[in-house]
Amino acid sequence: MRNSTSVEQSIDDLAHRYLDRAPGGRARAGLTEFVVFGLKQAWACVFGAALLAVIIAARLWYPDNAALARNDFLTMAAIVIQVLMISFKLETLRELRVILLFHVVGTVMELFKTDVGSWAYEAEGFLRIGAVPLFSGFMYAAVGSYMVRVFRLFDLRFDRYPRRWITALVAAGIYVNFFSHHYILDLRWVLLAAVVLVYGRCVMHFRVFRRRFKMPILVSFLLVALFIWFAENIGTWSRAWLYPNQLEGWQAVSIDKLLAWFLLMIISVVLVAWVYKPEPLDAADATQTADAAHIQ
């Protein structure tokens, strides 16, 4: 795996040694690719999954009368998770730079959104900036962690990837609109059209195990946004934060939020693309992609 950590390389080498000795066959090959795809996706989500597990555990078992506020506990737990990720070489220092940038981008948005009442946190604890507990930045970092890890775990390559300065302009417009739509016209549908126009021809190629597969990049954006929306429902059920319509009792997060997460994906992709420059598919990989299309 390109730019993999030592732990990931060891796991990948072990899988190859085992599976290369196993009998072949199209059915077995297809099943192997499917299983490895799921395992790599789970591995890419390890930071977010660990943080979500802590949030759920705090909701179920953290005592209401504890000396340490629950929000402060969540912040400290998130810091521990991040330190362990680096200490055990589950993330690289290069990736940490992107994750810290996600922290900053997310925290600035949180400060504004809580101020205008888009959502709210329980006003408790000392580890916070205004009404925003510091663990909130780690939720954006979890998205960043997933993005940079999936980029190298699947050795992503691209056909017709748009110029990065154009994607940066679109991402900047999306980020500004998250703030400005409270005061002027909401341009999210215009920005969605811009995303489709800019990324519409781009195809993402990803390596699972032995072969490469391809997918329109807009489809991958939608799938990740849908996954984040499910995680957000778990987060609000755990009362880590609440939308105004959930204050009197929990209900599912509006499906309208899926568009917001889809647009946020563009910001995430642009941030990662400035660290891992999107590369085209070479001739050998193109052959593997063509072969993969014939797997039944």
Q: What is the number of structural domains in the chain?
A: 1
pLDDT of res. 274:
81
Beta bridge partners of 133: 128
Angular region, 28: left φ>0, alpha ψ -120 to 50, beta rest: alpha
- Residue 295: is its pLDDT beyond 60? no
Residue 63: inside a domain, yes or no? yes
Q: Domain for residue 193, yes or no?
A: yes
- 283 vs 264: CA distance, rounded Å: 33
Residue 12 has pLDDT above 80, yes or no: no
Q: What is the pTM of this model?
A: 0.85
pLDDT beyond 70 at 3: no
Domain presence at residue 1: no
Q: What is the pLDDT of residue 123?
A: 75
Average pLDDT over residues 270-279: 87
For residue 91, pLDDT beyond 90: no
Q: What's the pLDDT band for 166 if we cut at 50, 70, 90?
A: very high
35 vs 217: which has the higher pLDDT = 217
Residue 52: inside a domain: yes
> What's the chain's average pLDDT?
86
b/e 43-56 (16+ beta carbons within 10 angstroms → b): bbbbbbebbbebbe
Question: What pLDDT sits at residue 248?
Answer: 86
What's the gap between Cα 33 and its chain centre? 22
pLDDT > 60? residue 288: no
2: pLDDT strictly greater than 90? no
* % of residues, the chain, pLDDT over 90: 59
Decide which of 204 and 98 is more confident.
204
For residues 247 and 239, give the distance between their C-alpha atoms in angstroms, rounded to a whole number: 9
Query: For 215-239, how does the pLDDT look when each residue is reduced to its tens digit (9 = 90+)?
Result: 999 999 999 999 999 999 999 999 9
Most confident of 26-30, 156-160, 211-215: 156-160
In a domain, 19, yes or no: yes
CA distance 293 to 206: 13
pLDDT computed for residue 114 by the predictor: 93
Predicted confidence band of residue 33 (pLDDT cuts 50, 70, 90): confident
Domain coverage including residue 29:
6-292
Asked whether residue 294 carries a pLDDT value surpassing 90, the answer given is no
pLDDT tens figures, 43-76: 889 999 999 999 999 999 999 889 999 999 999 9
Mean pLDDT computed over 94-99: 82
pLDDT per residue as tens digits for the range 101-152 = 899 999 999 999 999 999 999 878 899 998 899 999 999 999 988 998 888 8
Q: Is residue 39 part of a domain?
A: yes
- pLDDT at residue 178 is higher than 70: yes
User: Closest Cα partner for 102 from 58, 70, 149, 56?
Assistant: 149
**Does residue 88 lie in a domain region?**
yes
Residue 222 lies in a domain: yes
| pLDDT at residue 27 in the model | 73
Q: What is the identity of the amino acid at 6?
A: S
pLDDT of residue 136: 93
